[in-house]
Each structure stands twice: as structure tokens, then as C-alpha cells.
Amino acid sequence: MIKIKICGITTLDDALAAAEAGADMLGFNFYPPSPRYIEPLSCARLVAHLRDRGARVVTVGVFVNALPQAVAAILDDCGLDLAQLHGDEPIEALEALAPRAFKAIRPATLEEARAAARCYGRRSNPPAFLVDASTTPGRFGGTGQTGDWELARALAQDYPLLLAGGLCPENVAAAITHVRPWGVDVASGVESHPGRKDPGRLAAFVRHARHALLEDCHAP
């Protein structure tokens, strides 16, 4: 079954709405310039509430060029399961956090994609890595820009990847059918405004993602 990650969670209401809609993973952004930034203390309280309410979701901290020691401390303090390294981190940063981290890549060409996959692909539990839309230097995602599905499709044949970049309720089924990823990741595509989720769009995203594979399985 396709895995669904709702990223950029900033409030308990949004976290509960995502979990109730059927999300498998929730992402919390620790990159201060982002409109989806959450303070570690607020995240720790939010995650504790989720656990108290029995929410069965994988919690992911999103980091950009943070030191591995700082990432590990936030994972521990907030009770998070995984770290998503979304900047220009070297392979040494990923290895220092293994097996609790995976890398986001933003390749512009298939050659870049394959090289990044060989370098950063996780050999333990999926996802192997996250494929986001290519951006200009100094931008680290969250732009709503659609990624290159053909490029992602080529990687998905060999790696259990998370697909990100411009996904929304209107296009997620097409993305899944074309790319065949292990999972999909969305932030701005289910928001009412930056940092706040729209419950209706959350539910629609999960529904369309789940139905994409069901419809494909029953196709003649």
C-alpha cells in the first residue's frame, strides 16, 4: 500500500486531522526560514499528545544543513522516529544518523538523479530517499513546484522512494500511477495558507492516493 506523508505540520489540530485522514507519516519542519517551521518544544508537546491519543504514525523531523549532533538531539527531545535531511548535507551526515535518517534529493537530470541515488540511497528500512523538485541554489523545497515524474519513475524502479514536489489532491493519483513510488509527500498542496492544513484537502489527498493503486489493480 502506498505510504502517505503529510509534511509541514505546525499544530495539534492539523496533526490529528492528518492522522484521522489516514496519513502514515507526519513531517515537522525545523528549518527556521520556512513558514512551516515549528519550535522543538512545541513539537515535543504535539508528538506527546499524538502518542497519548494512540495515533499510529511515523514522525519525521525535516532539517536543512543542521549538524548531525543537533539533529539527533531534536529527534530524542521530540520523540521523533526519523530525520529527513533536506539540504546539501554530505553523505557523512547521513551515516552519522543511521539508521534514523534519509536524504532528500533534488536532481535536475537523470544522470544527477542516479548519482545521488547511489550515494544517498538507504540500505535499511524505506524510504531509500525522497525525490523533490529541482530548485535554484539556496532553495530547499516547499515551493509547490511539480517535480520531474519521468526522472522519479526511473529511480522508483530500483529504489523505494518518497515522491514530493507540487503534489496535491488533483494530481496525486496521476503521479502515483506514473511513478510507482513507495510513498508520496505533500505540504503546500493540502494547505489553506502556509503552515496550516485544510482538512478537506487532506482527506481528498489521502483518498485519491489510496484509490490510485486500487483502480490500477482493477484495470482490465
Cell of 202: 487532506
* Whether pLDDT at 124 is above 90: no
CA distance 6 to 25: 6
CA distance 69 to 147: 31
Considering 43, 78, 132, 148, which one is annotated as catalytic?
A: 132
Sketch out the chain's domains with CATH numbers.
Answer: 3-217 (3.20.20.70)
Across 56-85, average pLDDT: 98
Measure Cα distances from 30 to 20, 125, 147, 201 in Å: 24, 23, 23, 24
Residue 220: predicted pLDDT: 47
- Mean predicted lDDT score pLDDT of the chain: 92
Residues 11-43 have pLDDT tens digits of 999 999 999 999 999 999 999 999 999 999 999
CA end-to-end span of the chain, whole Å? 20
Per DSSP, what are the bridge partners of residue 182? Answer: none
Considering 7, 43, 78, 168, which one is annotated as catalytic?
A: 7
CB 46 within 8 A of CB 15: yes
Question: Which of the four pLDDT bands, split at 50, 70 and 90, describes residue 218?
Answer: very low
Q: Is the dihedral of CA 152, 158, 159, 160 positive or negative?
A: positive
Residues 182-214 have pLDDT tens digits of 999 999 999 999 999 999 999 999 999 999 976
CB 117 within 8 A of CB 128: yes
Question: If DSSP codes are grouped into helix, strand and coil, which group holds residue 192?
Answer: strand
Residue 77 among the catalytic residues: no
Across 83-91, average pLDDT: 96
Residues 137-190 have pLDDT tens digits of 555 555 567 889 999 999 999 999 999 999 999 999 999 999 999 999 999 999
Measure Cα distances from 88 to 26, 59, 76, 149 in Å: 22, 22, 23, 22
Supply the pTM of this predicted model: 0.93
Higher per-residue confidence, 135 vs 148: 148
Residue 139: predicted pLDDT: 57
Residue 132 among the catalytic residues: yes
